[in-house]
């Protein structure tokens, strides 16, 4: 391997690493619920990338995963019009990204959609710890890439992904894959990058976050292996920079055990940046300084060329979103998200009843996924469906015990806390490291009361089925989304339970089909559950 020692004119060199993560299909700076402006999206990020490249000669651009899922634009392409190039890949190709890492949501639409996106990419998709179950080799090609600059500086970027994906994903979407421990994988590959590839800078791009407080090291969540960023920094020698994501946090200006870390939020609200200065000392490039920061897209003009390239996709998406679905009699609007979660309401009851009717189960649960969910107006369009049911979930009916139902209700009840002013608030565990409103479930088919003034774990004060108290050892068939059925959101009581029925159609499609078939739906509330406090 040739080193350009004699021709080096400068004794220092500056390298910029730019990171996007968790773009979740956000291309344009709009809210799809109403098409109002929104300070997000790859078209705004594109302007920032161009500005950084204009300032610096040595720039590396990496996407850290969860790229191709998350907006109506992404959904329409994946489910309804998958022939053209993936629109998010089109954007990354246009911006000459150096590489991308697989995120957990890359698998949501199945292997065919993912493999097509990978084939269309002008950049490598990296993941060292997702391997072929048959061969043990990285399944999607490159585990890492090497970027070499004219001065002979070699920067290695190793891709890793949270191995917790089998706990959420439809098994058909990940058939033939094995998800290995990122820590052990990183130890093997980082050593190879240092010794065999002679990397001067080792960057790990990890689609995962931090399981511990980055300052104190105290656990901030159950240590399931979903997030192992802290452990990577502490236990794997030779990592200089750790690019992270998955948790949708905004982290910059920090380091762990000498490893510079960054995480750029979600939807393209910021661009992650790491500045590295190297010095040429004793015939070797060595890192002198490194610092991470975030660059906001607020008040940044979107890239007009990229907007034009994406316009055919957007036109089809908008036409689909404005497709009339049916009529609503009554009120299913969300005026106050907290009130929705404090007592039975028409929107949640409707979703649960659709899940029950289509699955044949007598008990159901679902969530109000986000505080910006608008509910349904009197004239329902596809836009209203996808604005409320924002994830490409499917349904499963699983068989669980009465004890499992109690445990699940207690887990949901942890969502609430009583403030010092005596008001109801959201507990820290559901707000940090990111808001997790989607992990608070509301049930139909049972009657229950939560008293949130009681201690955590003792808040279920009434629980009945068909007018009788639920017995702990009785079995019940319950319909829920596939994420929850796999134990996602710290619902371990649902893991590995018998699957009685699997409904592989997206819930958004099921809701739309249900409404179209009937033409008119009616809001109803049977008040089968409530939340109280003293």
pLDDT (mean) for 103-113: 94
Do 288 and 278 meet the contact criterion of CB atoms below 8 Å apart? yes
CA distance 202 to 254: 17
CA distance 226 to 487: 12
What is the pLDDT at residue 1? Answer: 43
DSSP annotation of 484: H
Do 95 and 237 meet the contact criterion of CB atoms below 8 Å apart? no
Cβ-based neighbour number of residue 171 at 10 Å: 11
What is the pLDDT at residue 114? Answer: 97
pLDDT (mean) for 23-47: 94
Residues 395-426: pLDDT tens digits?
999 999 999 999 999 999 999 999 988 899 99
pLDDT of 5 over the 60 cut:
no
pLDDT (mean) for 197-226: 94
pLDDT of 248 over the 60 cut:
yes
DSSP annotation of 138: B
Give the DSSP letter string of 285-313.
EEEEEEEEEEEE-TTPPP-HHHHHHHHHH
What is the pLDDT at residue 7? Answer: 45
Helix (H), strand (E) at residue 397: strand 395-401
Dmax (CA) of the chain: 86
Residues 265-286: pLDDT tens digits?
999 999 999 999 999 998 999 9
What is the pLDDT at residue 170? Answer: 84
Do 259 and 242 meet the contact criterion of CB atoms below 8 Å apart? yes
Give the list of residues 6+ apart from residue 491 with CB closer than 8 angstroms, or none.
408, 411, 439, 484
pLDDT (mean) for 101-119: 95
What is the pLDDT at residue 448? Answer: 98
With b meaning 16 or more CB within 10 Å and e meaning fewer, what string describes 126-145? bbbbbbeeeeeebbbebbbb
Nearest to 40 by CA among 28, 58, 57: 28
What is the pLDDT at residue 6? Answer: 43
Do 365 and 403 meet the contact criterion of CB atoms below 8 Å apart? no
What is the pLDDT at residue 2? Answer: 41
Q: C-alpha angle 29/32/33, rounded to 5°?
A: 135
CA distance 28 to 72: 11
pLDDT (mean) for 486-493: 93
Cβ-based neighbour number of residue 309 at 10 Å: 18
What is the pLDDT at residue 33? Answer: 82
Q: Residue 211 region, left (φ>0) first, then alpha (ψ -120 to 50), else beta?
A: alpha
DSSP-assigned beta bridge partners for residue 43: none
Question: What predicted TM-score, i.e. pTM, was given to this entire model?
Answer: 0.83
pLDDT of 506 over the 60 cut:
yes
What is the pLDDT at residue 140? Answer: 87
Residues 282-294: pLDDT tens digits?
899 999 999 999 9
Confidence of residue 10 (pLDDT cuts 50, 70, 90): low
Do 158 and 62 meet the contact criterion of CB atoms below 8 Å apart? no
Supply φ then ψ for residue 85, to 5 degrees. -60, 145
pLDDT of 520 over the 80 cut:
yes
CA distance 422 to 111: 49
pLDDT of 365 over the 90 cut:
yes
Residues 77-104: pLDDT tens digits?
998 999 999 999 999 999 999 999 999 9
Do 63 and 17 meet the contact criterion of CB atoms below 8 Å apart? no
pLDDT of 339 over the 90 cut:
yes
Do 293 and 252 meet the contact criterion of CB atoms below 8 Å apart? yes
What are 287's two structure tokens?
């890192």
């Amino acid at each position: 391997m040739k080193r350009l020692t004699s021709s080096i004119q400068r004794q220092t060199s500056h390298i910029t690493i730019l990171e996007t993560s968790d773009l979740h299909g956000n291309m344009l700076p709009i809210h799809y619920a109403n098409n109002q402006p929104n300070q997000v999206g790859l078209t705004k990020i594109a302007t920032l990338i161009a500005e950084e490249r204009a300032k610096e000669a040595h720039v590396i651009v990496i996407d850290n995963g969860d790229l191709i899922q998350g907006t109506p634009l992404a959904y329409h392409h994946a489910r309804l019009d998958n022939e053209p190039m993936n629109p998010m890949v089109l954007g990354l190709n246009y911006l000459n990204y150096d590489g991308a890492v697989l995120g957990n949501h890359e698998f949501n639409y199945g292997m065919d959609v993912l493999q097509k996106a990978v084939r269309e990419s002008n950049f490598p998709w990296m993941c060292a710890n997702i391997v072929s179950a048959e061969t043990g080799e990285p399944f999607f090609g490159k585990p890492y890439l090497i970027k070499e600059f004219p001065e002979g500086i070699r920067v290695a970027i190793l891709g890793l992904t949270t191995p917790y994906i089998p706990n959420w994903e439809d098994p058909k979407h990940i058939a033939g894959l094995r998800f290995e421990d990122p820590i052990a994988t990183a130890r093997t590959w980082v050593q190879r990058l240092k010794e065999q590839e002679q990397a001067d800078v080792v960057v790990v791009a990890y689609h995962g976050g931090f399981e511990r407080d980055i300052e104190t090291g105290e656990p901030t969540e159950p240590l399931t292996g979903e997030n192992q960023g802290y452990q990577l920094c502490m236990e794997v020698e030779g990592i200089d920079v750790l690019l992270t994501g998955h948790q949708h946090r905004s982290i910059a200006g920090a380091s762990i055990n000498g490893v510079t870390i960054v995480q750029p939020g979600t939807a393209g609200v910021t661009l992650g940046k790491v500045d590295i200065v190297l010095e040429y000392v004793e015939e070797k490039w060595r890192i002198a300084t490194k610092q991470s920061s975030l660059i906001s897209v607020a008040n940044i003009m979107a890239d007009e060329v990229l907007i034009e390239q994406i316009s055919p996709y957007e036109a089809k998406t908008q036409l689909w979103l404005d497709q009339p679905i049916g009529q609503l009699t009554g009120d299913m609007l969300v005026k106050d998200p907290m009130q929705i979660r404090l007592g039975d309401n028409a929107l949640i009851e409707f979703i649960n009843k659709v899940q029950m009717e289509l699955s044949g189960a007598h008990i159901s649960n679902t969530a109000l996924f986000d505080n910006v969910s608008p509910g349904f107006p009197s004239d329902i369009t596809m836009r209203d469906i996808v604005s409320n049911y924002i994830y490409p979930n499917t349904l499963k009916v699983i068989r669980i015990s009465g004890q499992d139902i109690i445990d699940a209700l207690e887990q949901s009840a942890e969502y609430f806390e009583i403030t010092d002013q005596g008001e109801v608030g959201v507990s820290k565990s559901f707000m940090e490291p990111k808001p997790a409103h989607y992990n608070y479930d509301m049930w139909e088919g049972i009657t229950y009361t939560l008293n949130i003034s009681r201690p955590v774990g003792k808040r279920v004060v009434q629980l009945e089925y068909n007018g009788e108290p639920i017995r702990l050892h009785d079995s019940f068939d319950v319909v829920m989304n596939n994420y929850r059925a796999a134990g996602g959101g710290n619902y371990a009581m649902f893991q590995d339970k018998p699957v009685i029925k699997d409904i592989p159609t997206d819930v958004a499609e099921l809701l739309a089909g249900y409404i179209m078939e009937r033409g008119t739906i009616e809001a109803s509330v049977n008040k089968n559950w409530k939340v109280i406090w003293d």
